[in-house]
Amino acid sequence: MKNLKLANKLDEQGKKRETEIKVKDLVIGRDFLIIGGPCSVESEEQIMDAALGVKLAGGNMLRGGAYKPRTSPYAFQGLGREGLELLYKAGREVGLPIITEVMDTRDVAMVSQYSDVLQIGARNMQNFSLLVEVGRTNKPVLLKRGLNATIEEWLNCAEYIMNEGNEKVILCERGIRTMENYTRNTLDLSAVAAAKTLTHLPVVVDPSHATGRIELIHPMTLSAIMAGCDGLEIEVHPNPSKALSDSEQQLTIEQFHLLVKDIGKTVEFRNSLEK
Ligand code: PEP
Ligand code: MN
């Protein structure tokens, strides 16, 4: 792929490489990443219950949005800095690193003080000033694929971040917009397999935003593992029907627990196959 230098699968000698990214005790790219947590941080009780549930189920990173990119300006926009503080506290309390979205260049330094990983949302994938700004931090960045972005555009955005000196980029496939409207988006698993051949960066899949449907999360999660992903990002809420955002796609803690068991078995099976 043209223009892919720092993110290219092949090094200057033409040898294939894989990147490992350390986040506290976790080595992304080696340890299978299981990010769980609510769409939005809503209250201290909600994020604490979610954090404990994710930890006990076997998740290894906690998510929660404090700055939310909502379609309507009248929808819940997140708790902002208060949400960051609650997420930070919950993560420390249960011993999980945290990830949250940063939407604005002006917030990058502040969000970096709280979060172990910075998330760039699908709607901001090609916000080049934001990519440059996170590229100047030393925090791992999870870069979601844009709703209408090609694989080449997605990987070039990773290149933007790396070109500023931050090589700790994790790619995330979260579904793209197609003519299909039964599902919220169309999960493009071929992009996962393709990204694994094109770049050395870890690739994560978000089956929650990709499908928008509870009953599709389990099969798509296992399929994503077989497509070669290095991890998953899944929305989990202690009381999904009461969630202030994305209530229709968040798993209960019990559902997440069962899913994590099958994730473990599927990763083990995949690792047992011949390459
Ligand atoms: C999210 O993960 O909180 C989110 C808003 O997802 P996306 O940017 O993929 O829509
Ligand atoms: Mn969401």
Q: Give the pLDDT confidence score for residue 258 in this predicted structure.
A: 98
Return the SS3 of 133: helix
Q: Is the pTM of this model over 0.95?
A: yes
Protein residue whose Cα sits closest to atom 9 of ligand 1: 122
pLDDT > 70 fraction of the chain, expressed in percent and rounded: 100
Per-residue pLDDT tens digits for 61-115? 999 999 999 999 999 999 999 999 999 999 999 999 999 999 999 999 999 999 9
Ligand nearest to the CA of 233: 1
Per-residue pLDDT tens digits for 44-54? 999 999 999 99
How many whole angstroms separate alpha carbon 261 and alpha carbon 125? Answer: 32
The CA distances from residue 161 to 92, 200, 201, 229, in Å, are 28, 15, 12, 21
Residue 162 sits at φ, ψ, to 5 deg, of: -65, -35
How many whole angstroms separate alpha carbon 176 and alpha carbon 122? Answer: 9
How many whole angstroms separate alpha carbon 173 and alpha carbon 205? Answer: 5
Q: Ligand 2 centre from 36 Cα, in Å?
A: 11
How many whole angstroms separate alpha carbon 67 and alpha carbon 78? Answer: 5
The CA distances from residue 65 to 10, 14, 217, in Å, are 35, 40, 20
Question: Residues with beta carbon < 5 A to ion ligand 2?
Answer: 39, 246
Q: Which amino acid is located at 105 in the chain? A: T
The full 3-state SS of 84-111, as one line of letters, equals HHHHHHHHHHHCCCEEEECCCHHHHHHH
- Which ligand 1 atom lies nearest to the CA of residue 39? 3
- Determine contact, residues 64/54, Cβ cutoff 8 Å: no
Strand 21-23, strand 26-28: pairing? antiparallel
Q: Ligand 2 centre from 235 Cα, in Å?
A: 7
- Which ligand 1 atom lies nearest to the CA of residue 122? 8
Is it the case that residue 275 has pLDDT exceeding 80? no
Q: Which amino acid is located at 86 in the chain? A: L
Return the SS3 of 197: helix
Please list, in sequence order, all residues whose beta carbon lies within 8 angstroms of the beta carbon of residue 4, skipping any fewer than 6 positions away. 155, 156, 159, 198, 199
Q: What does the block give as tokens for 146?
A: 């844009």
Q: Ligand 2 centre from 56 Cα, in Å?
A: 22
Strand 33-37, strand 231-235: pairing? parallel
Q: Give the pLDDT confidence score for residue 126 in this predicted structure.
A: 98
Angle between helices 44-57 and 81-94 (to 10 degrees): 40
Per-residue pLDDT tens digits for 213-244? 999 999 999 999 999 999 999 999 999 999 99
Residues with CB under 6 A from ligand 1: 39, 65, 69, 101, 121-123, 144, 174, 206, 209
User: Which of 125, 144, 250 to probe ligand 1 with, by most ligand atoms within 8 A of CB?
Assistant: 144
Q: What is the mean pLDDT of the chain?
A: 98
- Which ligand 1 atom lies nearest to the CA of residue 145? 9
Q: Ligand 1 centre from 144 Cα, in Å?
A: 8
